[in-house]
């Protein structure tokens, strides 16, 4: 009779293989979950842009997409605020009504309303006035059905002019609000 010497490593391998042969087959892997589209915000942003463009058609409002993937709602400067005032004028209200119509269902977005002034008045007064303008626009949008939970306001005073404050036309362009629409964080 022959004797076989089996190393412990070989014996472990034989036992492992034998154990695998008698084990039940592995359970089927669960089906992979469908991943969300990589740019789902971009798709929603495109849809929202189309909705805003449709609702504001004929008002002069321009909807731009920024490089950081936000929408910038540009309201015509002829609807700007009066010097030293934050009240929403009738023509501006009509345009904001159309903007609100396009934003009512934007529950996955956040809105930032930024107020601006011309250089008339003190820096401190312009800062307060720009915040008041943004707040007036926010209140108007909320009054037309946009959720308060999605809107923030900010004032920039006269720090970011679009035009020359040395002319009446330039100052009118600088008295404005801007609305930015971004993905809710």
CATH number, residue 175 = 3.30.1330.60
Average pLDDT of the segment spanning 132-137: 97
In a domain? residue 11: no
Q: Please give the residue range of the domain that contains residue 142.
A: 59-183
The model scores a pTM over 0.85: no
Position 80 confidence tier, pLDDT thresholds 50, 70, 90: confident
In a domain? residue 175: yes
Range 7-36 burial, b when 16+ CB lie within 10 A, else e: eeeeeeeeeeeeeeeeeeeeeeeeeeeeee
What is the reported pLDDT for 26? Answer: 46
In a domain? residue 24: no
What is the reported pLDDT for 36? Answer: 43
In a domain? residue 137: yes
In a domain? residue 154: yes
Q: Are 154 and 114 in contact (CB under 8 A)?
A: yes
In a domain? residue 74: yes
Structure tokens at 125: 């007064």
pLDDT at 107 over 50: yes
Give percent of the chain above pLDDT 70: 78
pLDDT at 11 over 50: no
> Average model confidence (pLDDT) for the chain?
82
What is the reported pLDDT for 125? Answer: 97
Question: What strand order describes the sheet that includes 71-74?
Answer: 62-65, 71-74, 177-183, 109-115, 151-155
List alpha helices for 1-89, DSSP H: 8-22, 40-55
In a domain? residue 52: no
Q: Are 91 and 59 in contact (CB under 8 A)?
A: no
Q: How many domains does the chain have?
A: 1
């Amino acid at each position: 009779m022959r004797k076989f010497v089996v190393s412990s490593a070989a014996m472990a391998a034989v036992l492992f293989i034998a154990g695998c042969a008698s084990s039940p087959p592995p359970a089927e892997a669960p089906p992979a979950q469908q991943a969300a589209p990589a740019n789902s915000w971009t798709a929603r942003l495109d849809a929202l842009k189309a909705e805003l463009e449709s609702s504001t058609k004929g008002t002069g409002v321009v909807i731009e997409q920024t490089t950081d993937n936000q929408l910038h709602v540009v309201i015509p400067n002829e609807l700007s605020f009066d010097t030293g005032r934050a009240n929403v004028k009738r023509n501006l209200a009509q345009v904001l009504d159309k903007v609100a119509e396009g934003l009512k269902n934007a529950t996955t977005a956040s809105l930032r309303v930024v107020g601006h002034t011309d250089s008339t008045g003190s820096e401190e007064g312009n800062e307060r006035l720009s915040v008041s303008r943004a707040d007036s626009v926010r209140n108007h949008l909320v009054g037309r059905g946009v959720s308060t939970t999605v809107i923030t306001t900010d004032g920039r005073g006269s720090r970011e002019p679009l035009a020359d404050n040395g002319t009446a036309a330039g100052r009118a362009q600088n008295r404005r609000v801007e609305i930015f629409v971004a993905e809710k964080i």
